[in-house]
Structure 1
Amino acid sequence: MGIKVAIIGCGGIGTNHANCYKNDSLAELVAVCDIVPEKARKLGEDKGVPWYKSTKEMFAAHPEIESVSVTTSGYDNGSMHFEPAMEALDAGKNVLVEKPICADLRDAQELVRYAGKKKLYLGCNLNHYFTKTAERADELIRDKKIGELVYCIHKVGFNGNEKKYTGPGTPRWQTPYSHVKAFCAHPFSVMRHFCGDIMQVQAFMDRPGIRRSQLDPMLSINGIHVRFANGGIGYLLSQRGDAMFGLGGWWSYEHAGTRGTFCIENCVEKLHYWDVDKVENPGMASPKPEIFDTGITDFNATFPSRIHAWLEDLANKVPLEHLRASGRDALATLTYTFAAMRSYEEGGALVIPEALPALHGDIKYVW
């Protein structure tokens, strides 16, 4: 039998997690829960499992639950993550929380601290680098075909234009940083995965005139400049449907090193690789790259891949500090997000992100 899992939060993302668990041989979906009974009932009946209106009720009925997906929402797409995640940890369950890990940095710090105290796994659905393209990029880096980082540029967002703008939206999106908090976790996680920890952040943010005229407070355009611990520099550009992206599509990540360069196009689709030893004329405007085409066009393919990795780590009982896309990793992305917010508020000042909790390690693994 697989790892016995439950879901807290039965909306669209919760349904996505449920589908992944139902189709993964490492998992057995046991129950679902939502404070909105209609949502819980619908997902429970669709998946053929009991449904509940509270975590207390669900955990009492199913003490066998080992792992929980927290897929609730809230302001800035994450304000309702903290309480159910803490309740699950308090009940002795491992927790996979949606991104952002929390909407508040203090909540995220406490969540990571408490999971460490309980010695339970806390992961986050930072699924953008659980892809075949990222695996290929990791191979290039491991094989020393990229070399020392010079720069990375990450462009990610939603295509759109002012004609398609439909207004401020629901209350959870009507805060200045709703896009920044909900969205930047993914690109920051990708940048950190390939480049390491970010040491300095400088940000500029704004919103176009169409949002101003509708009294929309969302700072939907973000330009964030960073410096990594290894000395490389990076730039993150995100926007929420205010314009159309050009080359590279809605998601592109370019990583240039002293030995080679790669660029991932549309997250799951293609990786372009420029080998310095095979580029006959580096001064050419457009040297020809090697192209790795996955044949995958559906971004949703990242969900089963990431969730399977979570289940693998649980099944293999990896040391807590070796959990992929851990709560600590998710906390790192939130510290960068809050550093960017502070930089914007201070007119583009250079900001040092808050320090992450120390890694102490598993003595059995270390020795």
Structure 2
Amino acid sequence: MALKIGIVGMNGIGKNHAACYKEDELADLVAVCDVVKERADAAAEKFGVKAYYSLKDMVENEPDLQIVDITTGGIDNGSWHFEPAMEAVGYGKHVLVEKPICHDVKEARELVAFADKQKVYLGCNLNHYFTPPAEKAKQYVDNGDIGELVYCLAKMGFNGGEANYALAGSPKIKGHPYFHMKAFLTHPLSVMRHFCGDITHIQTFSDRPGFRRSAGDVMVSINSIHVKFANGGVGYLLSQRGDAVYGLGGWWSLEMAGTKGTFCIENCVEKVSYWKAEKGVPAISVQPKPEVTDYGTNDFGRTFNNRLHAFLEDISNNVSRDQLRANGRDALAVLEYTFAVIESYERGGETVRPHPLPPLHGDPLYMK
């Protein structure tokens, strides 16, 4: 049976989510909400649903509503997430919230704890690993084809360069040095954690190029991040916000290497290559021929459909809350990493240990 959904925040992302729900058999979009009346009304007309201008009115007038999807933005793309998410959880609704889960890590901890107390599903739109290449790569990991982790290299950001630069005028961005870190690092850090597990140590060297400085732009847009995983492997993340044009692997690449093999995903949705470590492989010069799975697409937009469908599928299947894919705890983990990145940068590149996650207790209804 389709799940009844209301969306809060009807700018670009909200309309994107609405379009995804309208083509998903597990979704029944019944309402949209925005504090800007014109946006709510336009979206309601476009998607054939009812418009509301406060979450309270939407929930109280739609008694069968099961899910509230929070697609608001705010400073660093996240400062308007906490209040509506807490309100929806307080009503006992399942919640999907855009990334980052919150603008402030203390608010994120509170939200995750409250959802656990209310026993509702809390998910986050960590959509970058809801792709066919990531699914194939995870099969390599789960089948033992990678072996013990040696390293993970991630490169994600935006193509650009000095000629494409323009100073952002939005008050959500302008004057906020950590916009790129808070608004974007959620994605690559969540992908690294998805494949390699929890991160225990972070060291950061970050900066911004001269053309940003000359324009009075305070955004710390170039991020060089070294990490250690709980399993002993090491990792490196390079992320930049349009300060250069990316080379091999495109705007999004992830390479995970282990004692039995290595995979590399290119351009997020495009393809995954796998190199098997075998006896007799030359130490240098000659690289083994990889197994390449090319999906023939660069349509990143489908990651939204895939991620939203997974959320609806997990709820429909009544999975345990800690097994919900891309759940609130997962989103909190990568926000903790982001704040550790900021702390390391502010301390001149010192190694920082992220704040520990809340412990998993397990649901007795599922752990029999």
In the alignment, residue 86 of structure 1 is paired with which amino acid?
Answer: M
Instruction: Specify the alignment match of 1:163 in structure 2.
Output: 163
1:66 aligned partner: 66
Are 1:110 and 2:107 matched, yes or no? no
- In 2, distance between residues paired with 1:73 and 1:22? 22
| Aligned match of 1:38 | 38
Aligned pairs for 1:1-367 (under 5 A) are 1-174=1-174, 175-277=176-278, 280-367=281-368
* 1:243-296: CA deviation from partner (whole Å, max 9, x where unpaired): 000000000000000000000000011001101138853423543211111122
In 2, are the aligned partners of 1:10 and 1:32 still within 8 Å (CA)? Answer: yes
SS at match of 1:297: coil
Letter in 1 for 2:271: K
Task: Give the secondary structure class of the aligned counterpart of 2:250.
Answer: coil
Secondary structure of the 2:262 match is strand
1:68: how far off?
Answer: 1.1
Q: How many Å separate the matches in 1 of 2:304 and 2:200?
A: 29
Taking the aligned partners of 1:278 and 1:272, their CA distance within structure 2 comes to 20
How large is the Cα RMSD of the aligned pairs?
1.1
Cα offsets for 1:157-215 (capped at 9, x unmatched):
00001111011331111201000000000000000000000000000111111110111
Provide the rounded CA distance (Å) in 2 between the counterparts of 1:168 and 1:6.
31
How far has the Cα of 1:92 moved from its partner?
A: 1.2
Q: Distance in 2 between matches of 1:311 and 1:65?
A: 14
Query: 1:60 is matched by which residue type in structure 2?
Result: E
Q: Which runs of 5+ in 1 are unaligned?
A: none
Task: Report deviation, 1:60.
Answer: 1.5
- How far apart in 2 are the matches of 1:130 and 1:62? 30
Query: Compared with structure 1, are the counterparts of its residues 279 and 32 closer, same or farther at alpha carbon in structure 2 (3 Å cutoff)?
Result: farther
Worse overlay, 277-286 or 74-83: 277-286
Q: Report the TM-score when normalising by structure 2.
A: 0.98
1:348 alignment partner AA = G
Provide closer, same or farther for how the CA distance between residues 6 and 288 of structure 1 changes in structure 2, counting only shifts above 3 A.
Answer: same
Does structure 2 retain, via aligned residues, the 8 Å contact 1:168–1:214? no
**1:279–1:287 Cα contact (<8 Å) kept:** no
For 1:284 and 1:63, the matched residues in 2 are separated by: 66
| One-letter code aligned to 2:91 | A
User: What is the SS of the residue equivalent to 1:117?
Assistant: helix
Runs of 4+ off more than 2 Å = 277-288
Q: CA deviation at 1:93?
A: 0.6
Q: Is the 8 A contact 1:7 1:14 kept in 2?
A: yes
